[in-house]
Amino acid sequence: MTNTESQTTRRRLLKALAVLSGAALPAAAAQVTPRRAARIAVVLPRRSPYPALAETFMTGLTGSLDGQHVTVSAVQTGPAPRAAAEAARTALRDSPDLLVLLGDGLTRAAQPALLERPTPVLAAEFGVQRPDLHQPAPLALTVSLHSWEAEWAHARTLARHAGVYLLISHLDSGYDLPFAVTSGLQAGRGVLSGTALFDPAAPDHAALVRQVRESGAAHVHVLASGTGAATVGALRRAGFSVSAGGLTAPDLNVPRALAAASTSLLPVQALGFDTGRWISAALTGPLTPSAVHTALACAAVTGTRGTLSVDAHGVLRAPLTLLGAGKPQVLTPPNLLQLEPAGLRSGWLHTYLHA
């Protein structure tokens, strides 16, 4: 057979194979028809005393979502429960496949709207509200920074100091984090030498240093979400050992525990990133409400805080890690069921970190 005849025979064979393959195309195409993009609606605070709260969360969220298979819309809300419910109604009008609520207390505040339309809900929380894990919406799950538990577990390690002084910003004073610190110290048989409120925007560092010295404390724990870097620096220059809590920025270079194993992201950004990872892991099947909820409840996620998994209460759990004190140290969280219920309280009238 000549070379020309061989090429002609090969072309005929390829053409025959193409015809045979084409006959099967309609059935195969029906099996691989691309699914529409999943629609996610996010309810965010219109304003917040925490620096760039909504923007930071959305940076983390959109950075970990598959943009080709997910569309995201956002609705803003004020702090009052009525505003949260109305924002949820607005977000649900376009029938999203999943609703994300940023902030502690939003699920409860938006409950009337959530009961009107059966939509899977992810409550992205900071974990500083009352740590009861009950969610009032039937298809609600939670992803949290576990800040309350992290503060308790961190404070328990601080009990080794001769005395601990607690400095609290106005932003963190009305919530449960100060109670978490004092409860953790008690659990570790530590000594609380004193407490004081301070304004991170205009601190009187000389007075604060004097108060701490007079208390006899050897260590200062600063609760100042998103702020307090200048105060931390002043205390260290005065010779005190210092740790930080609240939604602390990662660049303070002091021991902190925010259930985050990553030192490169802001806590709220890590919360957004892990939320996006959770969504991406779950939205691979049917987009019916029950299927999405089931997929989320069964998902295991590798996020900024290590391997995360959903517990029996529908909370995406992250390991608690103490950072900035040498090698990262795994912390033991409190047994919330054994804590005195009367101590789990909040002084805030609205949803947390909304203003």
pLDDT per position as a tens digit, 137-157: 789 999 988 888 899 999 999
- What confidence score (pLDDT) does residue 91 get? 97
Task: Give residue 242's pLDDT band: very low, low, confident or very high (50, 70, 90).
Answer: very high
- What confidence score (pLDDT) does residue 302 get? 87
pTM of the model: 0.84
- What confidence score (pLDDT) does residue 50 get? 84
Beta strands in the chain (DSSP E): 38-45, 70-77, 98-102, 121-125, 140-144, 164-169, 192-198, 219-223, 241-245, 256-257, 300-303, 306-310, 315-317, 321-323, 329-330
pLDDT at 236 over 90: yes
pLDDT at 89 over 80: yes
For residues 167-199, one letter each, b for 16 or more C-beta atoms within 10 angstroms of the residue's C-beta and e for the rest, the string is bbbebbeebbbbbbbbbbbebbebbbbbbeebe
Phi and psi at 157, nearest 5°, equal -75, -25
- What confidence score (pLDDT) does residue 167 get? 96
The rounded percent of the chain whose pLDDT value lies above 70 is 81
Determine the Cα–Cα distance for residues 327 and 316; give it in Å rounded to an integer. Answer: 25
Task: Give the single-character DSSP code of 343.
Answer: G
Determine the Cα–Cα distance for residues 265 and 144; give it in Å rounded to an integer. Answer: 15
- What confidence score (pLDDT) does residue 20 get? 40
